[in-house]
Amino acid sequence: MSNAQWQKITERFREGISGGEFLPGDRLPSDARLAEEYGVSRPTAHRALAELARLGLVERTKRGTVVCGPLAKATGRVAFIVDHTADRYDFPSAELIRGMQCGLGDDRHLLLCDSGDSAERERRLIQEMAEECDGVFLVPIGTEENADLYRNPPGPTVILDRIPEGATAHAVLSDNRDATARAVRELQSYGHRNIAFLGFYKPQNPTVAERHAGYRDALGDDRPELTRFLSPDLEQEGGARFRQAVEDALVNLVKGAEGATAVFCVQDMIALAAIDVCDALGWTVGVDLDISVFNEWPPALLRQPWRVHRLVPQRSEIGRQAAERLTALIQSIASEPRISRVPVQLLTVDRFLSESKGGISEIHANL
């Protein structure tokens, strides 16, 4: 039985309930009876009734599937739950929020909620906002404690930024893997054979895993993999210890004739530290060492962004697509949960601005 057939059964009863054919308190046919009437399997019939329950139209009780009372009036609010906020780094992005509001239209307004990287607070917000708002945008912490809510959110929900392992909700994300592969191939087009990958060690973080997979896709079988993962504790700590870890990693990666001549940084924090290290060691970024980064901070924080290859997420488009998806869910237009990946813009270094004396070969000779 195809998905379209169980959806037809769901739509038949949804229209009957909204049109008054089935009234609050009425019992719908059992799974077995429904399967017999429509000539489908019992699992297909169960799926159709389960979808009606998810939409809040019926309740599965001991005495059967019962039509619920009138649905609550739309609130006109949509919650945007983020794992944290950071004004300096424009998170959540104003461009993303503009895209969301454009997609939602004038009838719905965003309510920003900060979970503060607390699994307990995130859980409470997801549950409360499902009751108080028409729908939810969620940037998840990704904690195991809330895996059940990622898999089965209590109301219309669209996940952004990263999709936790096992989550089955709708999601709109940047195309991390393909974008990273394009960035690394761009470095190869400049003549770089040995390209390093520098990130934090986060085996459970799908974003890091996708970007590393894209790096490996671009290398193929004939190029060496030069990967260094830093301790995730350094991301929270920052400061001198973090900068020293980046310096140690870079010096070791570029050492020798087979050392790296370019590095892909998985995020801005690492790229900025790499730029500082290059300045301290007398290396010229874009000449002595090429740097490519997934650029999610305001570019000015990289000081001289024109010297760095940057992958720039299309936040406005992500917001618009997410809002359109959420609106469809709120309107009970049933569909299978799916992940949409939005292409990322690649901005490359202007070689004219990067000319200077010395170069990569000179650095390698001195290490």
pLDDT tens, position by position, 196-211: 999 999 887 889 999 9
Same domain, 210 and 259: yes
Provide the CATH number for the domain around residue 328: 3.40.50.2300
pLDDT recorded at residue 73: 54
Q: Looking at the DSSP assignment, which residues form a beta bridge with residue 237?
A: none
Cis-peptide into 92, omega within 30 deg = yes
Same domain, 284 and 325: no
Q: Looking at the DSSP assignment, which residues form a beta bridge with residue 262?
A: 195, 290
pLDDT recorded at residue 69: 63
Domain final position from 35, 67, 99 = 67
| Alpha carbons 306 and 176: distance in angstroms, whole number | 22
Same domain, 158 and 192: no
Same domain, 184 and 132: no
Same domain, 187 and 303: yes
pLDDT tens, position by position, 7-65: 889 988 988 887 778 888 888 999 999 999 999 999 998 988 988 888 778 888 777 88
Tens of pLDDT, residue by residue, the chain (367 residues): 455 788 889 988 988 887 778 888 888 999 999 999 999 999 998 988 988 888 778 888 777 888 876 554 578 999 999 999 988 888 999 999 999 999 999 889 999 999 999 999 999 999 999 989 999 999 999 889 999 999 889 889 999 999 988 788 899 999 999 999 999 999 999 999 999 999 999 887 889 999 999 999 999 888 889 999 999 999 888 899 999 999 999 999 999 888 999 999 999 999 999 999 999 999 999 889 999 999 999 999 998 898 999 999 999 999 999 999 999 888 766 567 889 999 999 999 865 444 443 444 443 444 4
Q: Which residues contact 74 (CB under 8 A, 6 or more apart)?
A: 134, 330
Residue written as tokens 């085996």? 203
Same domain, 89 and 55: no
Which residue from 216, 194, 226, 174 is spatially nearest to 346, judged by alpha carbons? 174
Same domain, 120 and 180: no
Token duo for residue 57: 């139209």
Domain annotation covers residue 72: no
Domain final position from 36, 67, 98 = 67
The answer to whether the CB of 163 falls within 8 A of the CB of 339 is yes
Same domain, 283 and 357: yes
Provide the CATH number for the domain around residue 16: 1.10.10.10
Structural domains counted in the chain: 3
Same domain, 154 and 299: no
- What is the domain extent for residue 190? 176-312+347-365
Domain final position from 67, 97, 120 = 67
Same domain, 8 and 109: no
Domain annotation covers residue 228: yes
Q: Which residues contact 300 (CB under 8 A, 6 or more apart)?
A: none
Same domain, 44 and 154: no
pLDDT recorded at residue 350: 66
Q: Which stretches of the chain are assigned E, i.e. beta strand?
A: 27-28, 58-61, 64-67, 77-82, 109-114, 135-138, 157-160, 170-174, 195-200, 226-230, 262-265, 290-294, 309-312, 339-342, 345-347
